[in-house]
Structure 1
Amino acid sequence: MRRTLSIGLAVAAMAGVVVPAASASTAVPPSLSTVVWGPCPADLTVPELQCSTIKVPVDYRKPDGPTFDLAISRLPSTNPAHRRGVLLTNPGGPGGEGLDYPQVLSFIKLPASVRDAYDVIGFDPRGVGHSAPVTCNLTAAQKAFGNFPRYANDLADITKAAEEAKALAKQCATSKTAPMLPYITTANSARDMDRIRVALGEQKLSYLGYSYGTYLGSVYTTMFPERSDRIVLDSNMGPGGYDFTAMRNFALGLQDRFPDFAKFAAANPKYGLGSTPEQVTAKFYELAARLKRAPVDGIDDNGFRGLTFGNLYGSDNAYVAGAWQDLDTNQPVPPPPGTPADPPDPDNLSSSRLYTICGDSRWPRTIPAYQAAVAVDRVRYPMLGASTANVSPCAYWPSDPVEPPVRIGDHGPSDVLMVQNLRDPGTPLAGALKTRQALGERARMVTVDQGGHGVYLVTRNQCANDTVTAFLATGRRPAHDTTCAG
């Protein structure tokens, strides 16, 4: 999901306290930009984009200690005379590269009024891509394992997941980048964002973040409320970020989203999956049981659940239905349309995700805690719950978080616009509503009566797209929370 709204890039943070202002400080802004723009790294084929690096501390508690280069990019304003400032962007994750994201937004038609108003800024977050990338030395099997633990059909599956999780955590702890473990956190990425603002010579920054990027944006505007200009949060995580609750909520997201697919499949009998939504739902469980006994094309029940969940992120119900049909008739499943020929490094993608989610907050440390969660979620969310509640490497993480999670709050200007699909599998509405409540009068929320992950420019919903564009370009925002028809 290089667009980045990634499948299960998700997990980390229980209740905490706001980071004190002293630890949030990133120094006095210079009067002029200190960034020298030049060509981007050779692996980015984006000719309009300019790139650079800035120095940031490894540990913000030791600002004069070791530093590393944080990679940043710029798509300059198309109308400098009307330029308002900078629009920092994040496509999701954690673990998603963002250096080329300004160009991606241009490709998917970021409106001219927004391009005029801002230099659009991208960056690879710490630990990712060109910004001190981290590793867990993943094996090929671990890279294929994906972002979720295996679906636990019984206690033996939980024991197996625990063994895999413990091995993976040990690999992270003994890798060459293990010294970075305590410092790859959302709070530190927010501090890096403010260092970008400082380096660019801006008094404030605007922001557009998707998926995990909504949590990063919420953390930034909580830590630096007076440095925030126009903040757009699209496909919203709960206020705890990627914690164990968020991981379990993926299963809720699939249950919310699946009825859209079931209606589609029932209305298209050519797929042979059932003539009613109820029959299509029954086919899900039939295929999962059959694939557990006899995988097809290397896809077992765990892979089938992941394939269904991941590809319902978008609106391509036809691909999911076709994949089910192939599995039902023992045929190989083709890759989804648009699969990149040169995807991001799966080791860095998954490793940086783990560094972040395990470093952000404390996870349950005992097997009985996961057994209890699996037992509940297998009943409550039977399609995916026994996977997302299962044991993750965070249970065996070698270091505790160095600071409590940032508590998202309502202190600061009313400058946040949230947009949210009602049936989002990756960031369910239930979590978004909690973030909306936490932000209070700082925010307005636009819900969209549709499924899928991502709203602004990701879908063709004119109501939602126009609302976000107007806010970014003019500052105009709905007076109250509102809903757009699907």
Structure 2
Amino acid sequence: MRSFFRKALLLTLSTTACAAALTAPAQARPQTPEPKPATLGWKPCDQPRANTDAGTGTPPAPTRECATLSVPLDYTVPGGPQVDIAVARLRSDRPEARRGTLLVIPGGPGGSGRDRLAQKGAELRERTGGAYDIVSLDPRGVGGSSKADCRLTADDRELTHLRPWPGPGGDITGNVARARRVADACARDGGALLRSFSTANEVRDIDRFRQALGEEKLSAWGVSYGTYVAAVYAQKYPEHTDRWVLDSSGDPDPSRVARGWAANMAFGAEDRFPDFARWAADPTRDKAHRVAGSAADVRREFLAVAAELDARPREFQDAGHFPLTGNRLRQALVQAFDSEGTGEDGTFATVSALIVAARDTTGPLTVRDPLPAGPVPQDQAAVMIGTICNDVDWPRSVGSYARNVAVDRVRHPLTAGLPAGIFPCAFWKGGATEKPTRVTPKGPSNILMIQNLRDPSTPHRGALKMREAFGDRARLVTVDAGGHGSYLRNGNACGDEAVTTFLTKGTRPTQDKTCEAEPA
């Protein structure tokens, strides 16, 4: 269930980081001549060997190469302090078929591109017939790249605290205190590096990577928050884009950015819940997983159990886990929505068992807790907080958040007001580092978007806004499926073929299209 943890961190709630050297000047496109491209000292990445000597017949893993790229901490001072960016590549295994380089852009903020390459690179290379060297990078602050943190307490990094789930009845008093405390800690301890975490700088770092690779153009596959990075790059450097894929997009409204993505999650949960409700009401389910006899009753049961846990949290039998509160049950459900989830050992099964056990048993819970036992790591918390708070100015009025939470929890009880909640950005010292980018129809028509119809984290309604912003530059393939992430993820042959055909042949649908659901 590592996917539960990863999704909590990397979703389009997107989320949270900090800064100390808050007097650093706002970032801007450099006016000085571009420096000479950096040299990349490629060497094999550390990776486990396949056990071919034991007679398993398992082929060795494809050899990925890793290197370190130096980029400016502050692009207005290109000759000043530098930041290390960890990069990786998987070379084409068919040189005669190679046509260029394809960049994998991870989700987040806080996702590791090198991890994403390790997970999907071999399959992507096979699907595209060796047409690309496939590359990625760990954004500044992530993985092997230079790191900073806000020195947050473990309690403030607990998942349902890092995300501003309101208290029982919608009380945000605790959220306000925590948001202010986190913003203060980031201002005090984050440093200039943390103040440099932003989508704009990730885009600049990507272009430095392109130069170091010696490529005039890149193709790309961006997922989740990575679609926003890809969109900003396509707007800033259109002449350096080749075949551009945006998988699971959010609304790029420059006045809201991450705040808008968070708000949309209320709609995404409502879009996705019927899939879970049908699964959990299926008469073929065993007693431990069947939540209710009808889909409508599943909703009522979930809300009732969550409310009961608000008042009386439950302990787990296994040591080291946080108590099961109403908000941790809600968080577990939201994360379960991200995956395809419907297998007998999938995320739907895990969460339905949690609901049934919390309702029908007494004493310590013996079922599996799908959420992480410990706090979110310091570096990932910093990247999430820093990026969303440095990207755009957030409202400062505490009263406005209280009112919005009260309205949102009534309209969307599944998420209990979280999407309208208060983040540290409300108290961020120095505000946004620069003006957010507006995505426009100006540029080459070389973008293919793919989107699940019932995506809980980047809802379809947000993708329609991205599609509208790009105009004729893009085509949208909508897949009749649930879950977050579409290409090479949900098994829909129609959607996968559309993306693969674009990457290999350069052809897109002549107009937006819908891929029907795959038979169960």
Corresponding residue number in structure 1 for 2:23: none
Corresponding residue number in structure 2 for 1:233: 246
**In the TM superposition, what are the counterparts of 1:364-403 in structure 2 within 5 Å?**
364-403=395-434
Choose the corresponding residue for 2:236, options 218, 223, 228.
223
**In the TM superposition, what are the counterparts of 1:41-60 in structure 2 within 5 Å?**
48-60=63-75
The question of 1:173 aligning with 2:187 is answered: yes
Choose the corresponding residue for 2:440, options 392, 409, 415.
409
Q: Is the 8 A contact 1:26 1:194 kept in 2?
A: no
Q: What is the CA–CA distance in structure 2 between the aligned matches of 1:180 and 1:29, rounded to whole Å? A: 21
The question of 1:289 aligning with 2:323 is answered: no
Question: 1:323: Cα distance to partner?
Answer: 2.1
Per the alignment, in what secondary structure is the counterpart of residue 417 of structure 1? strand
Q: Is the 8 A contact 1:305 1:384 kept in 2?
A: yes
**In 2 relative to 1, CA 430–255 (structure 1 residues): closer, same or farther, beyond 3 Å?**
same
Q: What is the CA–CA distance in structure 2 between the aligned matches of 1:33 and 1:477, rounded to whole Å? A: 34
TM-score by length of 2: 0.85
Choose the corresponding residue for 1:207, options 220, 242, 259.
220
The question of 1:161 aligning with 2:196 is answered: no
Q: State the AA in 2 paired with 1:427.
A: T
**In 2 relative to 1, CA 225–231 (structure 1 residues): closer, same or farther, beyond 3 Å?**
same
Question: Residue deviations 1:246-295, cap 9 Å, x none?
Answer: 11111111111101111111114523411111100100111011111111
Corresponding residue number in structure 1 for 2:325: 300
Corresponding residue number in structure 1 for 2:40: 35
Q: Is the 8 A contact 1:12 1:361 kept in 2?
A: no
Q: State the AA in 2 paired with 1:193.
A: I
The question of 1:258 aligning with 2:273 is answered: yes
**In 2 relative to 1, CA 188–33 (structure 1 residues): closer, same or farther, beyond 3 Å?**
closer
Corresponding residue number in structure 2 for 1:450: 481
Per the alignment, in what secondary structure is the counterpart of residue 43 of structure 2? coil
Per the alignment, in what secondary structure is the counterpart of residue 113 of structure 2? coil
Question: 1:372: Cα distance to partner?
Answer: 1.7
Choose the corresponding residue for 2:352, options 301, 311, 321.
321
Q: Is the 8 A contact 2:45 2:66 kept in 1?
A: yes
Choose the corresponding residue for 2:296, options 278, 299, 306.
278
Corresponding residue number in structure 2 for 1:419: 450
Q: What is the CA–CA distance in structure 1 between the aligned matches of 2:332 and 2:444, rounded to whole Å? A: 41
Q: What is the CA–CA distance in structure 2 between the aligned matches of 1:33 and 1:386, rounded to whole Å? A: 47
Per the alignment, in what secondary structure is the counterpart of residue 199 of structure 1? helix
Q: What is the CA–CA distance in structure 2 between the aligned matches of 1:447 and 1:161, rounded to whole Å? A: 36
The question of 1:469 aligning with 2:500 is answered: yes
More divergent stretch after superposition (2-11 vs 444-453):
2-11
Corresponding residue number in structure 2 for 1:84: 99
Q: Is the 8 A contact 1:70 1:130 kept in 2?
A: yes
Q: What is the CA–CA distance in structure 2 between the aligned matches of 1:323 and 1:143, rounded to whole Å? A: 23
**In 2 relative to 1, CA 388–22 (structure 1 residues): closer, same or farther, beyond 3 Å?**
closer
Q: Is the 8 A contact 1:5 1:91 kept in 2?
A: no
Corresponding residue number in structure 2 for 1:460: 491
Q: What is the CA–CA distance in structure 2 between the aligned matches of 1:272 and 1:449, rounded to whole Å? A: 25
Per the alignment, in what secondary structure is the counterpart of residue 354 of structure 1? helix
Question: Residue deviations 1:144-172, cap 9 Å, x none?
Answer: 234420224446x2111100111111111
Q: State the AA in 2 paired with 1:23.
A: R
Corresponding residue number in structure 2 for 1:112: 126
TM-score by length of 1: 0.91
Corresponding residue number in structure 1 for 2:88: 73
Question: 1:25: Cα distance to partner?
Answer: 7.4
**In 2 relative to 1, CA 67–420 (structure 1 residues): closer, same or farther, beyond 3 Å?**
same
User: For structure 1, which runs of at least 5 residues remain unmatched after alignment?
Assistant: 14-20
Identity of counterpart residues, as a percentage?
40
Question: 1:5: Cα distance to partner?
Answer: 8.4
Per the alignment, in what secondary structure is the counterpart of residue 216 of structure 2? coil
Q: What is the CA–CA distance in structure 1 between the aligned matches of 2:35 and 2:49, rounded to whole Å? A: 30
Q: What is the CA–CA distance in structure 2 between the aligned matches of 1:90 and 1:457, rounded to whole Å? A: 15
Q: State the AA in 1 paired with 2:251.
A: G
Q: State the AA in 2 paired with 1:332.
A: T
Q: What is the CA–CA distance in structure 2 between the aligned matches of 1:28 and 1:80, rounded to whole Å? A: 30
Q: Is the 8 A contact 2:222 2:245 kept in 1?
A: yes
Per the alignment, in what secondary structure is the counterpart of residue 172 of structure 2? helix
Question: 1:349: Cα distance to partner?
Answer: 1.2
Q: How many residues align?
A: 472
Per the alignment, in what secondary structure is the counterpart of residue 71 of structure 2? strand
Q: What is the CA–CA distance in structure 1 between the aligned matches of 2:48 and 2:426, rounded to whole Å? A: 35
Q: What is the CA–CA distance in structure 2 between the aligned matches of 1:115 and 1:275, rounded to whole Å? A: 48
Q: Is the 8 A contact 1:5 1:211 kept in 2?
A: no
Q: Is the 8 A contact 1:6 1:93 kept in 2?
A: yes
**In 2 relative to 1, CA 248–260 (structure 1 residues): closer, same or farther, beyond 3 Å?**
same
**In 2 relative to 1, CA 27–335 (structure 1 residues): closer, same or farther, beyond 3 Å?**
farther
Question: 1:111: Cα distance to partner?
Answer: 5.1
Per the alignment, in what secondary structure is the counterpart of residue 137 of structure 1? coil
Q: State the AA in 2 paired with 1:247.
A: A
**In 2 relative to 1, CA 351–152 (structure 1 residues): closer, same or farther, beyond 3 Å?**
same
**In 2 relative to 1, CA 470–4 (structure 1 residues): closer, same or farther, beyond 3 Å?**
farther
Q: Is the 8 A contact 1:53 1:70 kept in 2?
A: yes
The question of 1:332 aligning with 2:363 is answered: no
Q: What is the CA–CA distance in structure 2 between the aligned matches of 1:216 and 1:26, rounded to whole Å? A: 24
Question: Residue deviations 1:357-414, cap 9 Å, x none?
Answer: 0000011111111012112211221111412212111111112112110111111110
Q: What is the CA–CA distance in structure 2 between the aligned matches of 1:115 and 1:200, rounded to whole Å? A: 21
User: For structure 2, which runs of at least 5 residues remain unmatched after alignment?
Assistant: 17-26, 51-60, 316-322, 342-347
Per the alignment, in what secondary structure is the counterpart of residue 422 of structure 1? strand
Choose the corresponding residue for 2:195, options 158, 182, 188.
182
Q: Is the 8 A contact 2:449 2:476 kept in 1?
A: yes
Q: What is the CA–CA distance in structure 2 between the aligned matches of 1:148 and 1:430, rounded to whole Å? A: 22
Q: Is the 8 A contact 1:448 1:484 kept in 2?
A: yes
Question: 1:232: Cα distance to partner?
Answer: 0.6
**In 2 relative to 1, CA 366–3 (structure 1 residues): closer, same or farther, beyond 3 Å?**
closer
